[in-house]
Structure 1
């Protein structure tokens, strides 16, 4: 188990550390266009490539989609209540609490702990969460949202194209798939280095900010996994599929939430700290789920 966790976590930590180093020693990450490159080119390529490579029937995929949507909706309600108790606005804080990091953290962790079956589940769950990022996340953090804008969003369009390709059994030529894979390869490293950049610039002078970040860092993985553990038994999933979904819903605050906060002038440094603090909690949750559901 520890070897699997180390295999999943080491690249994430190293790329984040590289982002911190480059920020302090160079100006390589200063261009604001890097975030746009990831959002408009890298993420759509990653989503489409992942969906096209899935080895799953449409019915099984839709069951995972339905379970993920229920988990996100339940998390939305609980998070709204939590923010109300904390007397905090939902605009910037709701999306990070609802949407887990099922992409650059969840996918490698699911593969490391649950194998190919876990990887397939992770791709589906991550795709649904991506849509949530660009609907719930954009809608709340921007302060306004028009549904038709969803069809202009690169990752959402890529997901729709991927589902249609599966539905009609359409296969892209090998050179096009290779091109998508190469474009996908730029996404996660840049996202993690940009996260490292934000962590390098962290500076908190008020202790209440730190306490709030700690509470959010605990809330996101623990409550997310708890809600999933209640919902997934309603479906006819295998033990591995159940474990993978619970572990994915227990992932940390997402890097995309940080990127959206940067774009819409939100508390990006605080969200970066939430990501950092929630990371070990989410890994502990994933390890516990693996032990309870699979290893035992």
Structure 2
């Protein structure tokens, strides 16, 4: 009973905030998705990442192991699902990116901080940074057929991660007034991302639900199994273990749909995967949390 209550206390705020965004749109209220998203990824999330890394008490060796585990997870998913797409004859431009990349920002960060606290957030932002690097380069290449390596250098999240890692390594701290300012900005990130996720889901439509259902189940099973194996293989501690598995099991990222729409892939199919996998996560993520806690 205590475990069920703990899991409920972790997941309820996450899905309630996403539900607020969903209901906001369905009630006909205005929500400027592009503006809020830009505010989040340019200011709020980078501030959250930088402060989380600067203030983390995670030993350097543990962070290094986790970083390599996160990189290995993305490479393994890319190789495994590339083989799957080639064997099944599915269109790579449409299906490979959503199968690889999960919603490690909007959904992963809140879950990790509620489940594992400040230390969990430190690990979660590392995983987010790794997936962002892959998404901004290989992910765009998959959908657009061309690289976007220059875009990585223009992303505030990337620089926030690098600076946060430098401050962590050197043991530096920003002046108190600046730290307090960045903390306030970072506190916007979690509710903003969750409400925006609900808004984005509310605005999606699709006609390809049947295919989306079995692909979403496949992604979840593969990601859970691979995350568990990698966490064991890299000898991760309890919190790092839980964060890796949880981040691996997040649903399809909304950015996969945006990229598919922008570069003329089958956005309807990707929208179906985003919707189904997110709804599925309402049931599966609490079960996964109960297993790893």
TM-score normalised by length of structure 1: 0.83
Q: How does 1:18-97 map to 2 (within 5 A)?
A: 18-30=20-32, 32-97=34-99
Shift of 1:266: 5.6
Shift of 1:91: 2.6
Shift of 1:177: 1.7
CA contact (8 A) 1:198 1:272 kept: no
> 1 CA distance for matches of 2:266 and 2:44?
24
Shift of 1:111: 4.2
CA contact (8 A) 2:7 2:289 kept: no
Deviations 1:42-73 (CA, angstroms, capped at 9, x unpaired): 33222212222211122221110001111111
SS of the aligned residue for 1:17 comes to: helix
The change in CA–CA distance for 1:282 and 1:221 in structure 2 (over 3 A counts) is: farther
The change in CA–CA distance for 1:150 and 1:141 in structure 2 (over 3 A counts) is: same
The change in CA–CA distance for 1:287 and 1:6 in structure 2 (over 3 A counts) is: closer
Deviations 1:14-58 (CA, angstroms, capped at 9, x unpaired): 222222222233442146323222222233222212222211122
Which residue number in structure 2 is paired with residue 124 of structure 1? 126
TM-score normalised by length of structure 2: 0.84
Which residue number in structure 1 is paired with residue 193 of structure 2? 191
> 2 CA distance for matches of 1:191 and 1:113?
17
Gaps of 5+ in 2: none
CA contact (8 A) 2:56 2:118 kept: no
Gaps of 5+ in 1: none
Larger relative contact order (C-alpha < 8 A, sep ≥ 6)?
2
Shift of 1:270: 4.9
- The list of structure 1 runs, each at least 4 consecutive aligned residues, that deviate by more than 6 angstroms after superposition, is none
Which residue number in structure 2 is paired with residue 248 of structure 1? 247
> 2 CA distance for matches of 1:267 and 1:119?
34
Deviations 1:134-181 (CA, angstroms, capped at 9, x unpaired): 233333344422423321111111111111112222111122122222
Which residue number in structure 2 is paired with residue 166 of structure 1? 168
- Which of 5, 15, 28 is 2:7 aligned to? 5
How many corresponding residue pairs?
Answer: 291
Which residue number in structure 2 is paired with residue 144 of structure 1? 146
Which residue number in structure 2 is paired with residue 238 of structure 1? 237
> 1 CA distance for matches of 2:62 and 2:93?
34
Q: Could you say what the CA RMSD is over the residues aligned between the two structures, in angstroms?
A: 2.9
> 2 CA distance for matches of 1:146 and 1:221?
28
